[in-house]
Amino acid sequence: MPPTGLHPQGAPRPTSSHAEQSLHRALATGLPQGWSAWHSLRVRSETGWEGEGDFVVAIPDRGLLVIEVKGGAIEVRDGQWLQNGKLMARAPREQGHSFARLLVSKLEERGLRGTPVFAVATAFPSSPFSNPPRQGDLDGAVLGQQDLPYLREALEAMRERLFPPQQRPRDSRWVELLHELWGETWTPRLVLGDRARLREQELIPFDQQQLHLLDMLRKNQRCLVTGGPGTGKTLLACEMWRRLRARGARPALLCWTNALASSLRASGIDTAFTVRELAAELITEVGIDPQDGAPPSAWSAETWELVSLHAAADALELGRNRFDAVVIDEAQDLSPNDWELVRGLADGRSLWGFADEGQGFWRDRHVPKDCFGALAELRERYRCPEPLAAFADHYRTREPSSVPPPARLSSAPPPAPIVPIDELRIVRLPSATAVEEYAAREIQKALSEGLQPHDIAVLSLGGQLKTDLCARDRIGEVSVRRADAPDASEHVVADTFLRFKGLERPLVPVRPVGCETFPSLALRRRRRAGRCRGRRRLLRRCKLLEPGRVGRGWDQCDRSWLVLALRRSGEEAPAAKSQGHVTAPREHRPVGVGGRERPEEVVLRQRDKPARSGNSQRHEAALPGYAGCLSLPRRRRAPGGRDRRRTQPTPPRSRRTLRWGSGRRDARGPRGP
The more confidently predicted of residues 519 and 378 is: 378
pLDDT at 147 over 90: yes
Residue ranges making up the domain that contains 272: 204-382
Residue-level pLDDT at 623? 31
Select, from the ranges 303-307, 461-465, 635-639, the one with the highest average predicted confidence (pLDDT): 303-307
Across the strands, what pairs with 297?
Answer: none
Same domain, 371 and 429: no
Confidence of residue 157 (pLDDT cuts 50, 70, 90): very high
Same domain, yes or no, for 457 and 333?
Answer: no
454 and 598, same structural domain?
yes
Q: Nearest CA to 69 among 12, 116, 118?
A: 12
Task: Give the pLDDT mean for 598-622.
Answer: 33
Could you write out the DSSP letters of every residue in 425-444? EEEEESSHHHHHHHHHHHHH
Residue 502 reports pLDDT greater than 80: no
Higher pLDDT, 540 or 556: 556
SS3 670: coil
User: Cβ neighbours of residue 303 under 8 Å, at least 6 residues apart?
Assistant: 290, 291
Q: In the listed set 338, 364, 382, which residue is the last one of a domain according to the structure?
A: 382
DSSP 3-state assignment of 174?
helix
User: Which among 30, 36, 44 is positioned nearest to 1, based on CA atoms?
Assistant: 36
Q: How far is CA 211 from CA 215, 242, 407, in A?
A: 6, 14, 47
Question: Residue 524: CB partners within 8 Å, gap ≥ 6?
Answer: 404, 575, 576, 577, 578, 581, 582, 583, 621
Is the residue at 410 inside a domain?
no
Query: How high is the pLDDT of residue 108?
Result: 84
Give residue 200's pLDDT.
Answer: 53
Q: Are residues 359 and 441 in the same domain?
A: no
Residues 6 or more apart in contact with residue 28 via CB below 8 angstroms: 6, 9
Residues 42 and 165 in one domain: yes
Residues 6+ apart with CB under 8 A from 307: 276, 279, 280, 283, 290, 299
Asked whether residue 645 is assigned to any structural domain, the reply reads no
- pLDDT exceeds cutoff 70 at 454: yes
- Over the stretch 224-253, which tens digit does the pLDDT of each residue have? 888 877 777 888 888 888 888 888 889 999
- Asked if the structure places residue 219 within a domain, the reply is yes
Residue where a domain terminates, one of 324, 356, 382: 382
Q: Which of 44, 43, 46, 90 is nearest to 68 (CA)?
A: 90
Task: Kindly give the interhelix angle for 336-345 and 275-285, rounded to the nearest 10 degrees.
Answer: 60
Q: Model confidence at 512, in pLDDT bands (50, 70, 90)?
A: low
Residues 449 and 598 in one domain: yes
Report the pLDDT averaged over residues 355-370: 82
147 with 226, same domain: the answer is: no
The answer for residues whose C-beta is within 8 angstroms of residue 531's C-beta and 6 or more apart is 643, 645, 646
> Which has more confidence, 47 or 518?
47
Q: Has residue 567 got a pLDDT over 80?
A: no
* Same domain for 222 and 365: yes
| Of the candidate ranges 79-93, 380-394, 440-454, the one whose mean pLDDT is the lowest | 380-394
Question: What's the pLDDT score for residue 148?
Answer: 93
Boundary of a domain, candidates 151, 182, 213: 182
Query: Could you tell me the CATH number of the domain that includes residue 504?
Result: 3.40.50
In this structure, is residue 612 part of a structural domain? no
- Do residues 476 and 426 both lie within one domain? yes
For CA atoms 307, 312, 314, 317, the dihedral sign is positive
Beta pairing, strands 117-124 & 5-7: unpaired
As for how many domains the chain has, the answer is: 3
For the question of whether the overall pTM of this predicted structure is more than 0.85, the answer is: no
| Residue 231 is assigned to a structural domain of this protein | yes
Q: Tell me, what's the pLDDT at 195?
A: 55
Q: Is 39:8 a contact under the CB 8 Å cutoff?
A: yes
**Which of 148-162, 307-321, 497-511 is predicted with the least confidence, judged by mean pLDDT?**
497-511
Distance between CA 577 and CA 526 in Å, rounded?
Answer: 6
Residue 643 within a domain: no
**Calpha distance 363→357 (Å, rounded):** 9
Contacts of 49 (CB under 8 A, 6+ apart): 102
Same domain, 220 and 253: yes
Q: Is residue 541 part of a domain?
A: yes
The DSSP annotation for 481-526 comes to E-TTSTTGGGSEEEEEHHHHTT--EEEEEEE---GGG-GGGSPEE-
621 pLDDT band, cuts 50/70/90, is very low
Q: What is the pLDDT of residue 423?
A: 57
Q: Report residue 264 CA to chain centroid gap.
A: 28
Q: What is the mean pLDDT of the chain?
A: 69
Residue 211 pLDDT > 60 = yes
- Local structure of 377: helix, strand or coil: strand
- Four-residue CA torsion sign, 445, 446, 452, 454: negative
Longest dimension (CA), the chain: 124
* Run of H or E residues at 24: helix 18-30
Q: Where residue 478 falls among pLDDT bands split at 50, 70, 90?
A: confident
In a domain, 668, yes or no: no
- Asked if residue 322 and residue 256 are part of one domain, the reply reads yes
* CATH number of 38's domain: 3.40.1350
For residues 37 and 69, the answer to whether their CB atoms sit within 8 Å is no
Q: How far is CA 452 from CA 401, 449, 506, 559, 591, in A?
A: 42, 9, 10, 15, 32
20 and 143 together in one domain: yes
Confidence of residue 386 (pLDDT cuts 50, 70, 90): low
The shares of helix, strand and coil residues in the chain, as percent rounded to the nearest 5, are 35, 20, 45
Give the pLDDT of residue 566: 35
pLDDT of residue 21: 92
Listed in sequence order, the DSSP H helices in 532-572 are 533-539, 547-551
Query: For residue 91, which amino acid is it?
Result: A
